[in-house]
């Protein structure tokens, strides 16, 4: 029930009621990525994503990035990229969280080699 109210009143939780109706009536499921996000397209070529949880643009994997932005390339139809050993797995955008990068948290960080002017 709470999910239904979130769909009606908010846009940042998965999908709105309007998006759900459009997906049911006009959407054709194109595929699903490893995170569970679903990719849809209508007859006019409009493309959209239904995220599995909170909407975050950085959660689009590189396999689907070119598809959602209508960029033609050689992996357009397969959505399968060869992964190399040196490639790291996708990480969410951590900005604004406790896990965000902060150079001052590291106690072994190099200290400033200059004095700040005080006015």
Q: Residue 50 and residue 72: Cα distance in Å, rounded?
A: 22
> 20-54: per-residue pLDDT in tens?
888 889 999 999 988 889 999 999 989 999 888 77
Q: Residue 100 and residue 108: Cα distance in Å, rounded?
A: 18
Q: Residue 92 and residue 63: Cα distance in Å, rounded?
A: 16
Name the range with the highest mean pLDDT among 32-46, 60-74, 77-91: 32-46
What residue ranges do the domains of the chain occupy?
A: 25-90
Residue 19 φ/ψ region, left for φ over 0, alpha for ψ in the -120 to 50 degree band, beta for the rest: alpha
Q: Residue 104 and residue 81: Cα distance in Å, rounded?
A: 37
Global model pTM greater than 0.75:
no
Residue 52 near residue 33 (C-beta atoms within 8 A)? no
Residue 91 φ/ψ region, left for φ over 0, alpha for ψ in the -120 to 50 degree band, beta for the rest: beta
């Amino acid at each position: 029930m709470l999910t239904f109210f979130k769909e009606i009143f908010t846009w940042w939780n998965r999908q709105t009621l309007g998006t759900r109706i459009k997906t049911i009536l006009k959407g054709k499921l194109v595929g699903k990525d490893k995170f569970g996000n679903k990719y849809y397209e209508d007859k006019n070529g409009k493309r959209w994503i239904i995220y599995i949880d909170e909407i975050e643009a950085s959660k689009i994997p590189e396999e689907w990035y070119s598809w959602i932005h209508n960029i033609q390339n050689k992996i357009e139809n397969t959505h399968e990229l060869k992964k190399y050993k040196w490639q790291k797995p996708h990480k969410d955008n951590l900005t604004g969280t406790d896990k965000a990068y902060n150079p001052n948290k590291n106690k072994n960080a190099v200290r400033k080699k200059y004095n700040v002017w005080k006015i």
